[in-house]
Chains A and B, each alone.
Chain A
Amino acid sequence: MSEKKLRMAKNAKLMIDILPDKCDFCGCCVGVCPDDAIELKEAEIYIIDERCTNCAKCVWSCPIEVIKFNKDGVYEK
């Protein structure tokens, strides 16, 4: 799905999951998030549901593949 289509999915279900057990809390995803939709504390991370537009920039920028599309998301490489 293109970036644009994902954006149009605003208000759709949250399609992205962060796997907190595997996360390194490095902040890369937070830095690229255009909607300030990721909360990151010392060892705690979550997506702020009502802000996320499923734009997927966090998925692409995660260096260690711990942000993924969930079952509601479609991900084509």
Chain B
Amino acid sequence: MKKNYDVIVVGAGPAGSMAARYAAVQGVSVLMLEKDRDVGYPVRCGEAISKAGVEEFIAPDEKFIASHVWNFSMTSPDGTEVTIPLEQEGYVLERRIFDYELAKSAANEGAEILTRAYVYDLILEDNRVAGVKYEYRGEKHEAYAKVVIAADGVESRVGRWAGLKTHIHFSDMECCVQYTVSNLKVDPNTVYFYFGSHVAPHGYFWVFSKGATTANIGLGISGTVGKKRSALSFLQEFMEKHHPEASVLTQIAGGVPCSITLEKISAPGIMLAGDAARQVNPLSGGGIASGMIGGSIAGRIAGESVKMNKPDHILSYDKAWADRLGKRHETFDRIKNGIYNFSDEKFNSIAHSFAKVSPDKRTLGNLFRTALFNNPSLLIDVAKVFLK
């Protein structure tokens, strides 16, 4: 097995594949290591994304689009539902195919990919990361690289071995469980969100349609809530109440780090991307698009650094990410913390106000504005969120 590469990427999720592709496209040698047998499986994701989020990296293709989303529905704790047409199309993906296509796009630029390759340590030399140690089909191997990109997802252990503080405070971890179910009736073009202390305190509950009879149904709650009650118990209760007829095709668990980006996402010889760098949008918990963006920036800069023979160039990644999305995520995080503290009554009053808006005037922006005009106290909350 080859022992030297310019760039080694750990993890073949959306962030890893884009890092591998954007490095490889510059003609540098790239190896991507994935611990699981298959890229894209198991799918630990609700699979919702905006069309624009996909298009930046890959041409939308029906083979990985389970449904086209045009409406956003929000149900408040007292059961008031408001539906809002989206100005921009969204998708619910088939990530087992989508992630595969992303990895293929990296391979097509020349990146080598190994699956069932578990990275268990880093090679450190002269205070910098110089490569990785990995197990591949029962045998131990070492490989050296000028840059290691850790895109190892929520676990984020690789960064830790390089001395970066990557562990997530458990109050920022959205602890999730999701069923993919069939035999239920949903509008195939709507994503449904449910809020409130009885469905998903400090988080939200989602129903993302994958066609007219299939959907991803799940929720996330903060680790603080998990102290008292598990995500699974909320899901079971919801299913019994709302969809007793549904059959469960898959159950998955997962964690979404919902916080601002890590203070440092690069250090000599190493860069972090995707969930491992905490590049998830902390308000929505969406991390597919932002992970691809983070990965692509990391890969581009890693490739440039190799070609210019300037190892320190990788340290410019932190700022490049902050300018593209990191700073915006700081605002989203403040809003998230505000919404976390909304009472059920507040969610209800927002839904009631918005239900009065005529259907043709319903936009997500208007939802925010209506909520503010009709709930002066909310204005103070949002102001607090922005001014903090």
Contacts and interface: CB of A to CB of B under 8 A. Distances in A.
B227 A77 contact: yes
A20 interface: no
A65 to B, nearest CB: 5
Contacts of A60: 170, 223-224, 226-227
A50 B224 CA distance: 26
A68 to B, nearest CB: 11
Interface in B107-156: 116, 118, 153-156
A1 B228 CA distance: 14
A32 B167 CA distance: 5
Contact of A26 (B161, B228, B255): B255
A42 B167 CA distance: 20
B324 interface: no
Interface residues of A, number: 21
B223 A57 contact: yes
A59 B26 CA distance: 44
Given A41-B118, A61-B170, A63-B175, A26 B230 contact: no
Interface footprint category on B: 35 or more
Interface residues of chain A: helix, strand, loop or mixed (majority): loop
Nearest to A35: B167
Interface string B84-128: 000000000000000000000000000000001010000000000
B176 A31 contact: no
Nearest to B118: A41
B173 A28 contact: yes
A27 B175 contact: no
Interface string A27-52: 11011111010001110000000000
Given A31-B156, A42-B118, A63-B253, A57 B170 contact: yes
Query: Which 4 pairs, one residue from A and one from B, show the smallest C-beta to C-beta distance?
Result: A28-B255, A63-B231, A26-B253, A61-B223
Given A30-B155, A31-B156, 12 more contacts: A27-B254, A31-B155, A33-B167, A36-B160, A36-B161, A42-B37, A57-B170, A62-B253, A63-B232, A63-B254, A64-B253, A77-B228
